[in-house]
Amino acid sequence: MSRRTLGACGALIAVLGIATASGSRLRWFEARPAPSNPEPPGSAIRANLRDEALRHARTRLGEIDPHALTSAPPDPARTLTGDQVECQFVPHVPDGTTFKFDCTLATGETVRVKYGHEPEIHAEAAATRLLAALGYAADRVYLVPRLRCYGCPRNPFVTMHVLDVFRAPPAPEDDYVDFEWAAVERKFAAPPIEDDDRKGWAWWELKRVSAPKDDLDALRLLAVFLAHWDNKAENQRLVCMDAGYAESGSPCRVPLLMINDVGATFGPDKVNVSRWRETPVWIDRATCTVSMRMMPFGGSTFPDTRVTDAARLRVGRALASFTDQELREWFSAARFPQFYASTDDGKDLDAWVHAYRHRVTQMLSAGPCPS
């Protein structure tokens, strides 16, 4: 019997216990009133505003910052970087297949929590740091040694799905559940630009973006380097960097493309060092053509593309600029050895560093790319 089946059976038992609980009290943090927003524009206007923002979007925030690779994301109040984080369970049915739930901190902030022996936890922690270190927008992912969730079922993801099937409301819980080495995610601090039907952007839509081809190709190469094969439109975001954009209803002056939901990376089997090392960067090295056709979903929204030599050199040299020690600290912070081999042996870190260098060499040894 698989781990997920066992978990589902255990959760069903837990659900039956929860459904019969009575007289318990749920500790809610103080609710905050929702801000009053102006009437949103009509559907057609929202679609036009989204398309116009996509057309003028840029791809990058800043320059290379090695500190972002080796350090946890900024956390001025140290809410998520201590040895233990406490939060209150938010009862709703989560999407996707990864074990996750939403939880509200004492500050009133609601964050996404992923738990269990899941490769996405480690992949997202590593991929978001690399994106930030290279100057790209990225969500902030914190690996927490212990997360204490008040009001949580033992297996929140499975429990909420079972309750949804039986149309049973969750009963309040007084107790708490501790999760070890959970991932807590804060979204990049910029509102999304969406319309009624589109919640992200597809890679084939880059042909509509007016940014320099070198910039767009650099973003494509970075996605290929990570093996970001689960690249449906919802896994990329178009955001607005304008102050007050969410409340204004005005066109966005500074739209930005970003890759998010990067848990299906470092594979394509997700955090698999041998597969990641051997997955080719180029489908045609002579023409500098990148592709994801050989990956799951046949490449999804990512079409085969010939990239420029400037993009190849820019990304390859940026990736090569990190030292072996920085790479070891990066992979160690994301707990790749513990997930992949259940050990923190230095040899496992060496294997990941070698795989990284091998993929960078593939990129730099190609070319010059035809104009």
**Residues 165-181 pLDDT 10s:** 766 666 555 689 999 99
The tally of domains found in the chain comes to 1
Cα–Cα–Cα angle for 337, 8, 109, rounded to 5 degrees: 65
The model's pLDDT over 178-202, given as tens digits with 9 standing for 90+, comes to: 999 999 999 999 999 999 999 999 9
Q: What pLDDT, on a 0 to 100 scale, did the predictor assign at position 342?
A: 57
Residue type, 249: G
pLDDT, average across residues 62-66: 95
Q: What pLDDT, on a 0 to 100 scale, did the predictor assign at position 39?
A: 52
Q: What pLDDT, on a 0 to 100 scale, did the predictor assign at position 171?
A: 59
pLDDT, average across residues 91-120: 92
DSSP type of residue 65: -
Could you identify the residue written with the tokens 């233990």? 84
Q: What CA–CA distance (Å, rounded) separates 145 from 129?
A: 18
Structure confidence at residue 343 as a pLDDT band (50, 70, 90): low
The whole model's pTM is what? 0.85
269: exposed, middle or buried (Cβ count in 10 Å: 0-12, 13-18, 19+): middle
- Residue 27 falls inside a structural domain: no
- Residue 15 falls inside a structural domain: no
| 201's tokens | 């952007």
Give 215's contacts (C-beta < 8 A, 6+ positions apart).
Answer: 58, 59, 60, 311
The boundaries of the domain holding residue 162 are 3-8+41-365
Torsion of CA 265, 269, 275, 280, to 10 degrees: -60
Question: Is residue 301 a contact partner of residue 203, using CB atoms and an 8 Å limit?
Answer: yes
- Residue 97 falls inside a structural domain: yes
- Residue 17 falls inside a structural domain: no
Average the pLDDT over each of 3-12, 139-148, 315-324 and give the range with the smallest value.
Answer: 3-12
Q: What CA–CA distance (Å, rounded) separates 238 from 53?
A: 8
Q: Which of 103, 128, 130, 69 is nearest to 261 (CA)?
A: 128
- Residue 122 falls inside a structural domain: yes
Q: What CA–CA distance (Å, rounded) separates 116 from 5?
A: 14
- Residue 153 falls inside a structural domain: yes
pLDDT, average across residues 254-272: 94
What burial letters (b/e) apply to 200-227, b meaning 16+ CB within 10 Å? bbbbebbeebebebbbbbbbbbbbbbbb
Looking at 30-110, list the stretches that DSSP marks H as alpha helix, in order from N- to C-terminal side: 43-55, 66-70
Q: What CA–CA distance (Å, rounded) separates 112 from 185?
A: 5
Q: What CA–CA distance (Å, rounded) separates 140 from 300?
A: 25
- Residue 20 falls inside a structural domain: no
- Residue 34 falls inside a structural domain: no
CA distances from residue 339 to 5, 51, 84, 269, 304 in whole angstroms, order as listed:
21, 41, 21, 13, 32
Strand pairing category for 110-114 and 140-150? unpaired
| 136's tokens | 């790209």
Angle between helices 119-133 and 324-333 (to 10 degrees): 140
